[in-house]
A and B are shown apart, each in its own frame.
Chain A
């Protein structure tokens, strides 16, 4: 019989520590290969400052790149879906990072990862 969790009148606060060892860094490697200009990014935030979606929501391409480099795949998936692919960020980037292609490649890599996970599960 399954034992029931006891409630003592308080709960456990989940840890917000970023565990680099436990995170998945594969996607970052895949993207860096597919769009090498990712390595030029200096996280200056010009992309986020000019972003139209960012004017009305909390979306930030700078954060997307940060999450990508940290390997926080789940948060990355939520964030990257907010991009409208207008390409304004690419026009202003001082390092000529191909940001639009970067977002497309992230979406593709996440999709491929999901697809391969499903294939493994159905086998």
Chain B
């Protein structure tokens, strides 16, 4: 990858990220897809970096999925988001940190709408007050959770036990970074590095010792596309998008994929299983897939957290080959055990994709 030109582009797209005191809004789907990711984010920020982060329990969905699937009107969405801002104001915070890329894109879109149409903002304030009696101040700083991890990437690297390096060869791991479409494709100036060459995950990979792969379909969507997935008959579109990406990255032999969106890790992970069952094709070595992680899980991994504590067992593509490569120890017998040793049950073994159990 030729970095000179990209660095110039990255310089043009820099944003301010608050240093401390975050109001954290969780994602609806991340908590079920990869439950460890958000827990790791809060743990790293609170315990490792000593930051103040307010994990609000009363906030709701931002309605992003409903909005992008054309079932929730924009006025309703704006009012729901206004309530989230009201909760932030009531908690005494000014820096809003969104866990979800869809939410982040939606908040950006709403704040931009209000900037251009102040009468709309006044109307939404009225709706919110009539419905809930709440008032709000707009966030002083809006950041996606990956922006915050990007900001503190060097501090995390300094505390890390491991690096994204192959322990046998000493060479950096080849990492594919995949950015959620709504992170910066709609508002390039709101993302680090812009829309064409977002730097948010590349920066983390470089700081943590890995090597970023620049492959032809790097900016292609994972295929989630809301309506493409929500209707079963349309899921072929979603699957085909992911397949296009896998075929494009396969010749570069990536060791792992890092994403910053709730949908992308889900689909890039699960579609590898679907493709293997439909076509008998796997994209990694020896019938392994390419493991897909969220940036928080990768941060947790290099910090030396127990892989099963951060939820790596709920990934469809097993993480074990990568853990072995980096040299992160794990106890196979505890893979499918819950927090207090309870048995979570063993999933069905796929036909082609390699499965690792005790």
Contacts and interface: CB of A to CB of B under 8 A. Distances in A.
A3 interface: yes
Interface residues of A, number: 13
B235 A12 contact: no
B75 interface: no
Nearest to B237: A13
A10 B235 contact: yes
Contact of A5 (B232, B235, B278): B278
B301 to A, nearest CB: 31
Contacts of A119: none
B277 interface: yes
A15 B239 CA distance: 12
B352 A15 contact: no
B110 to A, nearest CB: 33
Interface string B327-354: 0000000000000000000000001100
B278 A13 contact: no
Contacts of A122: none
Contacts of B279: 5, 12
A7 B352 CA distance: 15
Given A3-B352, A5-B277, A12 B244 contact: no
A6 B279 CA distance: 9
B236 A12 contact: yes
A8 B274 CA distance: 8
B240 interface: yes
Most chain A beta-carbon contacts within 10 A, residue among B240, B244, B352: B240
A6 B278 contact: yes
Contacts of A7: 278
B59 interface: no
Contact of A3 (B234, B239, B274, B351): B351
A6 B244 contact: no
Nearest to B352: A3
A9 B235 contact: yes
Size band of the B side of the interface?
A: 10 to 19
B236 A15 contact: no
A10 B239 contact: yes
The dominant DSSP class at the A interface is: loop
B277 A13 contact: no
A121 interface: no
B280 A5 contact: yes
Contacts of B8: none
A10 B234 contact: yes
A57 to B, nearest CB: 31
A8 B235 contact: yes
A67 B274 CA distance: 34
B231 to A, nearest CB: 9
A110 B22 CA distance: 67
B243 interface: yes
B236 A13 contact: yes
Nearest to A13: B240
A93 to B, nearest CB: 37
Interface string B234-251: 111101100110000000
B233 interface: yes
Interface string A26-43: 000000000000000000
Contact of A10 (B236, B244, B280): B236
27 contacts: A3-B280, A3-B352, A5-B277, A5-B278, A5-B280, A6-B277, A6-B278, A6-B351, A8-B235, A8-B277, A8-B278, A10-B233, A10-B234, A10-B235, A10-B236, A10-B239, A11-B236, A11-B278, A12-B239, A12-B275, A12-B279, A13-B237, A13-B240, A14-B240, A15-B240, A15-B243, A15-B244
Interface of B: 232-237, 239-240, 243-244, 274-275, 277-280, 351-352
Given A10-B239, A13-B240, A15-B244, 5 more contacts: A3-B280, A5-B278, A8-B277, A10-B234, A12-B275
Per CB-CB distance, the 7 closest pairs between chain A and chain B, nearest first, are A10-B235, A6-B277, A13-B240, A10-B236, A11-B236, A3-B351, A9-B232
